[in-house]
Amino acid sequence: MKNILGREIPECIQGYGEVKPFKGAFESLGEVRKRAVKFESSFPEKQKVLCSIKDTLEKCGIKDGMTISFHHHLRNGDYVLNMVLEEISKMGVKDIKVAASSIFPIHEPLVEYMKKGIVTGIYANYISGPVAEAISGGQLKNPAIMHTHGGRARAIESGDLTIDIAFIAAPTCDTYGNINAVLGKSACGSLGYAIPDAQYAEKTVAITDNLVSYPACPIEISQEYIDYVVQVESIGDAKGIVSGTTKITKDPVGLKIAKMTSKVIEASGLLKDGFSFQTGAGGTSLAVAAYVKELMQKNKIKGSFAAGGITGYMVEMFEEGLFDAIFDVQCFDLKAVESYRDNKKHQGMSASMYGNPHNKGAVVNNLDVMILGATEIDVDFNVNVTTGSSGMIMGGSGGHSDTAAGAKLAIVVTQLIKGRLPIVVDRVTTVTTPGETIDVLVTERGIAVNPLRKDLMEKLGKTNLPIMSIETLKEIAENMTGVPEKIELVDEVVAVVEYRDGTVIDVVRKIRD
C-alpha cells in the first residue's frame, strides 16, 4: 500500500506486525491513554544495592524474549549497554530486544549479538556506526524500529513499547536509588531521555560508578522508580558526550548559509521579545545562533527560552541575558553540564515533556524557530536524516520531526551539494520528517519557501534574499553534479520508520551486497 506521502509500505511487516500508515503530521491528535504500570512495592527492610550486573539480571528475572532499555546521555562514551549485554550473553539468554534511545559506534559488540540471535530486535531514535551498517545489511532478525525522541516517550507511556528492565547509567546514585547526572566522574547533565524508561519499565536498575550515601542531592530520577542499584568501576567516558563540532564553522559557505538564515528569521517577524529558539550542535547551526545573537544584541531583544540538546554556545547566550531560561533534554558538551548543575533557570525536561505529541503540551509546541539539517530534501520538502543516499542507515530523527511539527518556523540549513551529490532530489531515499512541517530551505545558492507558507513567501519577497522555488534549487544542483543514479534496494524491510504519533511514515529496505 501507499501512505499519504506516496511511500510503498507493506500492510503487514514480518517481525513488526500490522502497519498503521502515516496520514498526516497532526491527524492523530486527540484523546489518548497512558498505560498502567505494574510494579512491586518495597518493604522497609529491602536492600536495593546488589553486588553485580549478573545479580541484578537474576533478581529481575531476565529470560528469553525480554525487552531491555538504555539511555544515550553518555553518547559515544557509554559503557553500560555493552556491559549488560555481555552478562546476558554469558547467561545464555537469547531473543532480547534492545530499546536504546540512541546507538553509537561504541556499541559495535551489538553486531555479534545480533548474528548469534542474542539480540533479535532494536528500537532506537538514532543509529550510527557498525550497528547501523549491520541492520542495513539485514543482519538483525526483526526490523529495527526507529522512533523520534518524542515518539519514543509516547510509545513507552502508551504501552506500544513495553520495557521489561530499564538500565539507567547513573553518574551519581545513592543507596536507595536517587539519581543525578551533575556529579561524579561521568557527569553528563540532563537525563531527559531516561525518565520515561524509569517511570514505565517493569523493573528499573541504576548502574553507577559514584555510589553515595543516602540521600543524593540533587535528585533527577527518584528512588520511587528504582528497584535495584549496582556499582561498577566506570559507566563511561563523559568526554564521549560531545556531539557534532560544537564549534562555529569557519567555512565561508557555511557562514553564508548561516547569515542568510538569520535574515530569514529576522524577516519572519518572530525575532522579538519572548523569542524561543533551538538549534543543533553542528558548525553551521551554531553559526546561525551567532548571527541571531548579534541581531538580539543590536535590537535589545530578550528571548524566553532556548531548548533541546544544549551546547556551550547556547549557555553563553543564556548567561549573557539573551534568554530567560533553558529547557535541556541532553547536554552536548561539558560546559552545558556545568551550567545545568549550577543555574536554576537551566532546567531539565523529560523526553515526553520535550516532544511527545500525545501529552497535554510539549515544549516543542512553544518553539518559535528551529534550525534543522538534512541528508536529502525533496521537492515536496520531505526530509531524510535516517539514511544516506546509498540507503545505508546513518542516523535517525532524534528530535527532528518533533521540533519541525511544533515550531512556528522550521528551517533546514544545508549546502546544496555534499560529496558531489545534490541534496535536493525528486524523492528522498527515506522520509524522516514530512514536508508539511518544513517551512524553509536555506542553501548557499538560494532559499526555497514551502508553498504552504504563503505568509512567509510574502514577507521574504520584500527582502533582497535570493528566494526561488525548490525545483530551481534542484535544477541548479543537477547542472553541477548531473542527475544522481537511482539506488537499487531489495524488498526486505530492515527498519520501520515511525512518525512521532506511532504511524509508519516509511521503511528502510536492505541494501544490496
Assess whether the previous peptide bond of 215 is cis (omega < 30° from 0): yes
Sign of the alpha-carbon torsion through 442, 364, 332, 395: negative
The total of other beta-carbon atoms located within 10 Å of residue 359's CB is 16
Closest listed residue to residue 350, CA positions, set 166, 235, 198, 452: 198
pLDDT score at 2: 84
Collect all residues with Cβ–Cβ distance below 8 Å to 297 and sequence separation of at least 6: 322
249: helix, strand or coil: coil
What does 132-173 look like in DSSP terms, one character per residue? HHHHHTT-SSS-EEE-BHHHHHHHHHHTSS--SEEEEEESEE
Whether the model pTM is above 0.95? yes
pLDDT score at 243: 57
The CA distance from 251 to 202, in Å, is: 49
**Residue 381 in grid coordinates:** 520538502
- 393 φ, ψ (degrees, to nearest 5): -65, 130
What separation in angstroms does the CA of 361 have from each of 127, 305, 426?
28, 16, 35
Virtual torsion, Cα 381, 386, 389, 390, nearest 10 deg:
-150
H/E run at residue 411 = strand 409-413
Strand 172-174 relative to strand 179-180: parallel, antiparallel, unpaired?
antiparallel
The number of residues in the chain equals 513
The total of other beta-carbon atoms located within 10 Å of residue 351's CB is 32
**Residue 228 in grid coordinates:** 535495584
Closest listed residue to residue 150, CA positions, set 363, 319, 334: 363
Residue by residue, pLDDT tens for the chain (513 residues) are 888 898 989 999 999 999 999 999 999 888 788 888 777 777 787 899 999 999 999 999 999 999 999 999 999 999 999 999 999 999 999 999 999 999 999 999 999 999 999 999 999 999 999 999 999 999 999 999 999 999 999 999 999 999 999 999 999 999 999 999 999 999 999 999 999 999 999 999 999 999 999 999 999 999 999 999 999 999 999 888 875 556 899 999 999 999 999 999 999 999 999 999 999 888 999 999 999 999 999 999 999 999 999 999 999 999 999 999 999 999 999 999 999 999 999 999 999 999 999 999 999 999 999 999 999 999 999 999 999 988 999 999 999 999 999 999 999 999 999 989 999 999 999 999 999 999 999 999 999 999 999 999 999 999 999 999 999 999 999 999 998 888 888 899 999 999 999 999 999 999 987
- The three-state DSSP-derived secondary structure of 93-106 is CCCEEEEECCECHH
